[in-house]
Structure 1
Amino acid sequence: MNNSNRTIISRRARPAKQPLSQDLIVQTALELLKSEGSPGLSMRKIAKALDTGPSSLYVYVANLQELSAFVLDNALAKVDFPEEDQGSWKSRLFDVLQSYLSVLYEAPGVAELSLTTIPAGPHSLAMMEYILRQLHEGGIRSTSAAWGVDLLLLYVSSVAFEQSSRDRKGTTLHAISASYRSLDPSQYPLISGLKEELLSSGGQEDKEGQQGYEGEARFRWGLEAILQGIVTRNNG
């Protein structure tokens, strides 16, 4: 059969693929992580998105662990650092940690990655240096600063992961709230007495029943509690 009207498209007319590079691999991995969560961070899926084979990726990254560290560091580029003359050292510390929370909360996969991966790169180092500088200004130094920064970052990561995962799954607090209200006060007097406070975030969203990341009041209360512990150990 003569199909003389068929249009022949030359392969040369196709747009050229962007040259493979570490930056391109990391950015592609980050986008997959944001859209699919942790399952998106696989060499096979990244290679498919880049129209190449998994073996090609290992020219630029040693393994998935190294790639994960690069991806997390790339995401941390969006963390905002308050100016050094802006407020007190504690307000700057809490503000940068609030920004870190927001970055992690926007992408549940990144929040999960922050709990399982040690970041390696300029953005994570810059954030750690900034936090240590605020602690140093507050008189917190040596071991207390080194262990304290780890504890603060772990707290933020856990809050972001819990809240973003809950939102992604469509989970609400109504079920556990109902469970608390059905408890026998004689058997669980303390839980029954604090049932409202256990689930409150200290913000307006409590009254409106809205979901979102941990309320700022409760989040900053946690930061304050951790910081006071660090200060106590530093002075002890």
Structure 2
Amino acid sequence: MNNANRTIVSRRARPAKEPLSREVIVKQAFLLLREEGISGLSMRKVAKALDTGASSLYVYVKDLQELSSYVLDYGLTHVELPDTDDGSWKSNLFAALLSYQQVLYKDPGIAELALTTTPLGPHSLDLSEYLLKQLAASGIQPASAAWAMDLLLMYAASSAFEHVSWSKNEKRSFTLMKEAYLSADASRFPFIHSHKSELFSGDLPKDERFLWGLEVILQGTLKLDHGME
């Protein structure tokens, strides 16, 4: 075979790889999570995408759990925390939680991580600090504020993950479930029948159902807190 016209590319001519760092690893893991979902988040897959060995990642992150925590934090970069001078503590609280829910909704893998992973990093801390500040402005006790923050974040994450599941893998299952409720026998299931218009109302794009849930948690917290005084 005549290889006279063959072009040999030197390894030195290849683009240099970006030096490995925790930031590089987290960014690549986030991209894999976005492309493949939670199954894409593994030390082996991240290492392969970075053209390195899995063992080299452990210099920068202790294990997959820690990496997942940093990936979750990276995913929260675009959560918007309103200027506290522009609204009431309640409107700011709800706006921040709505932004959090929408960020999770746009990145399905992050929504799942929010339910399964301990938050770790500056964006997670910024969000918690902001929510606690707004709750403290309501005058409730520190314990009530801390516990309410946990409930509000969990509700927002579960709401986002539920909607992501419906719009992705579970869309057909949701459609079948909805059809079953809407066509339920009125004589056997009178309350389902009489509430069928409301059962699936209030979701996107106005998020009335989500905001109503936030209101329920908040009002319950305020009421219980006053009863503890």
Given the two structures, how large is their TM-score scaled by the length of structure 2?
A: 0.94
Q: Contact 1:76 / 1:124 at 8 angstroms: preserved in 2?
A: yes
Q: Which amino acid aligns with 1:234?
A: D
Instruction: Report the equivalent of 1:92.
Output: 92
Q: Contact 1:177 / 1:195 at 8 angstroms: preserved in 2?
A: no
Instruction: Report the equivalent of 1:200.
Output: 201
Q: Distance in 1 between matches of 2:41 and 2:117?
A: 13
Shift of 1:183: 1.8
After superposition, give the CA deviation of every residue in 1:46-80 in whole Å (9 maximum; x if it has no partner). 01100011111011100000000111011112111
Identity %: 56
Shift of 1:189: 1.6
Q: Helix, strand or coil: the match of 2:168? A: helix
Correspondent of 1:230 among 202, 221, 226: 221
Shift of 1:2: 4.1
Q: Which amino acid aligns with 2:124?
A: S
Instruction: Report the equivalent of 1:179.
Output: 180
Q: Which amino acid aligns with 1:229?
A: G
Matched, 1:136 2:136: yes
Instruction: Report the equivalent of 2:151.
Output: 151
* Matched residues, number: 226
Unaligned runs of 5+ in 2: none
Matches within 5 A, 1:30-45: 30-45=30-45
Matches within 5 A, 1:42-191: 42-169=42-169, 171=171, 173-191=174-192
Unaligned runs of 5+ in 1: 203-212
User: In structure 2, do the counterparts of structure 1 residues 151 and 51 end up closer, same or farther at CA, with 3 Å as the change threshold?
Assistant: same
Q: Distance in 2 between matches of 1:18 and 1:112?
A: 29
